[in-house]
Structure 1
Amino acid sequence: MIVDPVIVAGAGPTGLTLALALARHGVPSVVLDEADGPPRGGPRSAVLRPDTVALYERLGHRGPDADGARWSAWRTVRRRQEVLRVDFAPGPSGTAAPGEGPGAGSGTGAGQPASPLHVLQHRLQHGLAEAAAGQEPIRLVPGCRVVRVEQDDDGVTVHTDGGPAPSWRGSFLVGCDGPRSTVRKLLRVRFPGRTAVDRYAVAVLRAPLPFPGESLLHRDPPWRGDTEVTARPLPDDVWRLDWRLPQATRGGSPLTPDDLVARIRNTLGGWCGEVPPYDLHAAVEYTVHQRLARRWRVGRVFLAGDAAHVLGALGMQSVDEGARDADNLAWKLAMVLRGEAPDALLDSYQTERRGAVGARLRAADQALPLLRSSGPLHAVRRSVLSGSMRRHGALLSDGNLGTGLLGAPPVHSPPPAPGPARGGGRAVPQPRTATPPGAVVEDVAVTAVDGSPWRLRDRLGRHLLVLLVAPGTGVWESRHWLTAGLMPRLAEATAALPVPAELLVTEAYPGAVAHTVLLVRPDGHLVATMTGCRPEELRAHVEAVRGGAGGPPPREPSEDRSGDSPGDSPGTPAGAPSGSRTGGS
């Protein structure tokens, strides 16, 4: 039974997403925010994959537009147009023609994956705060800084400076308090990685660019002074432009206002033929770092978002990855707090999420030095890339297209398949679908047992889902097929599971034959597929999910120990209860 709330340190996008996701499970939370007010506007933006946008919709976020338009309306327009163009060999106009270069064909036509959305981060955070303000289980406490954490076998006590109370009692604590996380430092969790991975200048402006709704990655443009320029469309016809700058330690000098204006004019003139009128909203120069916390769990305390990972050259994906952290952790905390799963389930949060983020960072580490080196490779870059170099080059566009190692949703190691049923014999092989176990399911049309139509992603977030592929069910009213075929037995098997689950039906699922049954986690990852109604097999898969079973812990990424942040020295974590589980390193 849920008694004490989950305490969330930090009211940024990750903290608010976690609080909203917990509320969807009926779990109360207290969000302690060091800031006294909402974030100001600025150049920070985020790349959101389609399933993350669906998560925000489920949590009550209205949308990123200034006029409050819903996500779905804006997304429909962008999906028709958004295609990434990558230029490796500058042509007469300096940009690749539509449909050329790596990433071509990865747009939003029939049978193609939908591209991610690009949104201003302060608008996203405003929308999440508005959604949280209307949720009774969520208490937002501004002006409240965490100073000390104590934990025991029953919960955590968080001591604070400011706010209406000197301390707060909760069942768990989740540090979502950014790259300089106080929670992480109090736990003495090391945060190794690399400093000054890249240096960028960013401008957010309104201008009539000749590729509306498209993302553009321009390598080695023909105008002087730039080696890499990215344009990303934002709502309300606004654009974010990024220029990669020389490292300050390698001869680069600080960017002056005149330098920024020159870059804007050169870039707009190169793309448009002449400099069009533009309205500059915000600009900044920043250096990006790359870090991955050694542990994401210490007893009853967890890390999420930028407190757990800083994505360096992939920094615009940090909000998206933080949302995945929150979605992964929320349903596991809820199951444990309701007594539906053992504490071991919470260990899988670190295994899955740290493994996924670490894989992206390793991919960037391996590819970017090849693309950005000087000497002979620099000449190769300026020609048409082929073979392995072209594949490395495509990594730069993956985050914008939502594909590949740097852009596609992660695939977690699925729980082991259950053994033979009682009485001996071989284990029944799982039928195949277009979605491998551990991956995010496709968003297909489904029907609930009461006959109401839904999208599959709209039903995520509360319970496990049992999805039956039954062609023809869309033609008949639910009262006809609820008592026919597999449905009575499957409904009985679903109701008998040790945790709440919802039974849904779909006309078709990519790659699946009739009578295939899919078991889906609350965060949208496929657990397993089965043929027909096999109650013991279904229950065994649910037990594996409930126990947090999965693959081995992820391989540790290479790290630079000299790059540890101050205060993140190894040692016994402060506030860890005697004999408590630390989640491994």
Structure 2
Amino acid sequence: MDHADINCEVLVIGAGPTGLMAANLLNRCGVDVRIVDLRAEQSRESRAFAVSARSLELFAALGLVDRLIERGAITSGIDFFVSGKWVGGLDYDRVEARDTPYRFILMVPQSETESVLIDSLGETGLAIDRGIEITGLAQDEDGVLATGKRADGSAVRIAARYVLGADGAHSIVRESLNLDFDGARYPQTFLLGDVQLDWPLDHGRFRIFMHGERIGLFFPLHGTGLSRVMTTDLRAGGGGDPVRPEPLPLDELQAAFAEATCQPVRLHDPVWLTRFRTHHRAVDRYRAGRVFVAGDAAHIHSPAGGQGMNTGLQDAANLAWKLAAVLRGNADDALLDSYESERLPVAREVLRFTDRLFAVAAGQSGWRAQLRDLLAPAILGPASGLAAVQSAAFRKFAQIDIAYPAGRTVAAGAGMRAPDAQLSRHRDLFDLLCGYRFHLLVLSREPLAANEARAMLDRFSTLRGTGVEPHLLTRQAGGLREGVDRIESGEVFDRYGVAAGDGRATILVRPDGYVAWRSDTLDIAAATDFLQRL
């Protein structure tokens, strides 16, 4: 590789939420990572705003979830209106989802999400190299050379072992790899504003309004201080670039939103106003040699369901530990192929799901829109009263039921997300599954005698230096022993399928919170063997 101005193990291109999360995770794994971005400063707009339960679990594992929640608005459900009348909704206070502590949607501006991640990087001394435009990539068997220019026009060359392109919908990384980005743009144009809103309704609920060809959305951000409103643009021809946003007059947004909601509204003190279109597209590959793509560089969706940013954050979580393992010599390069095999099917399913939502809610016109408004009360009203429907909708939007197929990083019978469970009055399992590292859970529903517990803890010493943090979870006969996690509730055994009576299990959890391997016996040696093969 030719002489470079900057050398690193991993170069992350793009400092949006996906790139920032990847840089944080790689940094915590001890990887020499650099992150560059074309923008001179971080975004001020709330482009992405809904943070799902699965993403909140990731922030919790990094010790950052409280910082994020403090900056957002907790929303407990979604209300649906047709021609100004409430016809049903989702009430997350009623869902059956005790396997996550985050049974809500967190509405937080993307700028605040980025700030939390930027502050976390800064606390370790890692800063974003801003004002750098990457214009080309060249790779060989040893690494990647990224070329570009700084804001002053001077050339810059960055050499890295691997590159992650998290540089958004117009990704230069994706283009340089000649990846297919199949899909299409939606025909509708949308009007969007982050504004202060005066209206008869409160500011604490996420609301969707349907009124013929007009669709309106209200998202609470900062109480009465700031809200996001969005509606369809019915101008002839829509107009404008299909992706890049256009200016929008406030009075035009107010009139359109009032028509969609059938409410008297007054918008004022705007922070951000734009007219935009959106696409639905996904790449055909997540990897090309030593270069990877993630987030909007790999998949873009309709805003329906708030899935885009959350999918990107989970892309980063899936890839970072694998890159660290390969760079440290703990795994061969083939491990990195599992990033694509695990995450590309997820992106395609999210694309299918959000496309269907968009088609039903906002993709109708003429008599079809009138028929939707006629049928919606008859469907949404009864569905709102069914706990099973409420729970299924929450789990889908929260991304907590995504599972990975058996393969290099997942043994047969594993692959599901590791669920939370109550251990004691003041402690949950997620309090243990933190730090973005491997965790080994050794569970015994039958109380262990002191000598059994001591023997198991002694076997934990064989895991030193493997990067695995072991946990012995059992009720003890004859009092507590240091090193054993106290169990006051059988919930953790139920949730992890440990049989009643004398049931036992050994479970290996990956850094990204997915079960990699399990056995229905206490078998640390077999877990270690799987990890070594991994």
TM range (shorter): 0.7 to 0.9
Residues in 2 aligned to 1:110 and 1:322: alpha-carbon distance in whole angstroms: 23
**Structure 1 stretch displaced more, 292-301 or 492-501:** 492-501
Question: Alpha-carbon deviation of 1:540?
Answer: 5.0
Question: Alpha-carbon deviation of 1:303?
Answer: 0.7
Query: Which residue, out of 16, 20, 25, partners 1:21?
Result: 25
Question: Alpha-carbon deviation of 1:312?
Answer: 2.5
- Which secondary structure does the structure 2 equivalent of 1:441 belong to? coil
Deviation string 1:447-466 (CA, Å, 9 cap, x unpaired) is: 9xxxx967526634532111
Query: Which residue, out of 438, 457, 469, partners 1:464?
Result: 438
Query: Which residue, out of 497, 504, 516, partners 2:505?
Result: 516
Question: Alpha-carbon deviation of 1:165?
Answer: 6.9
Amino acid at match of 1:516: A
1:366–1:324 distance in 2 versus 1, CA, 3 Å: same
Q: 1:12 and 2:44 equivalent?
A: no
Residues in 2 aligned to 1:166 and 1:445: alpha-carbon distance in whole angstroms: 51
Whether the aligned pair in 2 keeps the contact of 1:46 and 1:318 (CA below 8 Å) is no
2:222 corresponding residue in structure 1: 235
2:78 corresponding residue in structure 1: 84
Residues in 2 aligned to 1:128 and 1:417: alpha-carbon distance in whole angstroms: 27
Whether the aligned pair in 2 keeps the contact of 1:401 and 1:407 (CA below 8 Å) is no
Deviation string 1:127-161 (CA, Å, 9 cap, x unpaired) is: 3222212224x352111111222222222222221
Question: Alpha-carbon deviation of 1:491?
Answer: 5.8
Identity of aligned residues (%): 24
Whether the aligned pair in 2 keeps the contact of 1:10 and 1:32 (CA below 8 Å) is yes
Q: TM-score, normalised by structure 1?
A: 0.72
2:467 corresponding residue in structure 1: 500
2:55 corresponding residue in structure 1: 52
Question: Alpha-carbon deviation of 1:336?
Answer: 0.8
1:406–1:83 distance in 2 versus 1, CA, 3 Å: closer
1:127–1:366 distance in 2 versus 1, CA, 3 Å: closer
1:239–1:256 distance in 2 versus 1, CA, 3 Å: closer
Residues in 1 aligned to 2:28 and 2:433: alpha-carbon distance in whole angstroms: 11
Question: Alpha-carbon deviation of 1:517?
Answer: 2.7
**Structure 1 stretch displaced more, 105-114 or 514-523:** 105-114
- Which secondary structure does the structure 1 equivalent of 2:531 belong to? helix
Q: 1:438 and 2:442 equivalent?
A: no
Query: Which residue, out of 172, 187, 194, partners 2:162?
Result: 172
1:484–1:454 distance in 2 versus 1, CA, 3 Å: farther
Question: Alpha-carbon deviation of 1:373?
Answer: 3.5
Q: When the two structures are aligned, how many residues end up with a matched partner?
A: 488
1:149–1:275 distance in 2 versus 1, CA, 3 Å: closer
- Which secondary structure does the structure 1 equivalent of 2:49 belong to? strand
Amino acid at match of 1:299: G
Amino acid at match of 1:126: S
Query: Which residue, out of 295, 309, 323, partners 1:333?
Result: 323
Q: 1:263 and 2:256 equivalent?
A: yes
Question: Alpha-carbon deviation of 1:26?
Answer: 1.0
Residues in 2 aligned to 1:197 and 1:384: alpha-carbon distance in whole angstroms: 24
1:15–1:370 distance in 2 versus 1, CA, 3 Å: closer
Whether the aligned pair in 2 keeps the contact of 1:306 and 1:322 (CA below 8 Å) is yes
- Which secondary structure does the structure 2 equivalent of 1:443 belong to? coil
1:56–1:12 distance in 2 versus 1, CA, 3 Å: same
Deviation string 1:507-526 (CA, Å, 9 cap, x unpaired) is: 34243335233221100112
Whether the aligned pair in 2 keeps the contact of 1:446 and 1:455 (CA below 8 Å) is yes
Query: Which residue, out of 11, 33, 40, partners 1:36?
Result: 40
**Structure 1 stretch displaced more, 318-327 or 372-381:** 372-381
Equivalent residues in 2 for 1:179-218 (5 A)? 179-196=169-186, 198-207=188-197, 210-218=201-209
Deviation string 1:153-182 (CA, Å, 9 cap, x unpaired) is: 222222221278731221111111111111
Comparing both chains, which one has the higher relative contact order based on Cα–Cα distances under 8 Å and sequence gaps of 6 or more? 1
Residues in 2 aligned to 1:43 and 1:73: alpha-carbon distance in whole angstroms: 16
Whether the aligned pair in 2 keeps the contact of 1:6 and 1:170 (CA below 8 Å) is yes
Query: Which residue, out of 372, 389, 399, partners 1:381?
Result: 372
1:527–1:482 distance in 2 versus 1, CA, 3 Å: farther
1:342–1:198 distance in 2 versus 1, CA, 3 Å: farther
Residues in 1 aligned to 2:37 and 2:205: alpha-carbon distance in whole angstroms: 36
Amino acid at match of 2:418: V
Deviation string 1:246-294 (CA, Å, 9 cap, x unpaired) is: 4854799996543212234456772xxx546854332211101111112
1:442–1:295 distance in 2 versus 1, CA, 3 Å: same
Whether the aligned pair in 1 keeps the contact of 2:204 and 2:223 (CA below 8 Å) is no
Amino acid at match of 2:419: E
Residues in 1 aligned to 2:71 and 2:150: alpha-carbon distance in whole angstroms: 40
Which protein is richer in strand relative to its size?
2
- Which secondary structure does the structure 2 equivalent of 1:466 belong to? strand
1:293–1:454 distance in 2 versus 1, CA, 3 Å: same
1:127–1:151 distance in 2 versus 1, CA, 3 Å: same
Whether the aligned pair in 2 keeps the contact of 1:494 and 1:502 (CA below 8 Å) is no
Query: Which residue, out of 403, 409, 434, partners 1:411?
Result: 403
Deviation string 1:355-410 (CA, Å, 9 cap, x unpaired) is: 1010111233345435534466444312345689999xx9xx99996432785552
What are structure 1's unaligned runs of at least 5 residues?
64-69, 420-428, 431-436, 474-480, 547-585
Residues in 2 aligned to 1:530 and 1:249: alpha-carbon distance in whole angstroms: 60
Question: Alpha-carbon deviation of 1:104?
Answer: 4.2
2:283 corresponding residue in structure 1: 293
Residues in 2 aligned to 1:382 and 1:321: alpha-carbon distance in whole angstroms: 31
Residues in 1 aligned to 2:215 and 2:453: alpha-carbon distance in whole angstroms: 57
Residues in 2 aligned to 1:45 and 1:410: alpha-carbon distance in whole angstroms: 21
1:47–1:467 distance in 2 versus 1, CA, 3 Å: same
1:406–1:72 distance in 2 versus 1, CA, 3 Å: closer
Whether the aligned pair in 2 keeps the contact of 1:491 and 1:503 (CA below 8 Å) is no
CA RMSD of aligned residues (A): 4.0
Whether the aligned pair in 2 keeps the contact of 1:42 and 1:283 (CA below 8 Å) is no
Residues in 2 aligned to 1:297 and 1:505: alpha-carbon distance in whole angstroms: 38
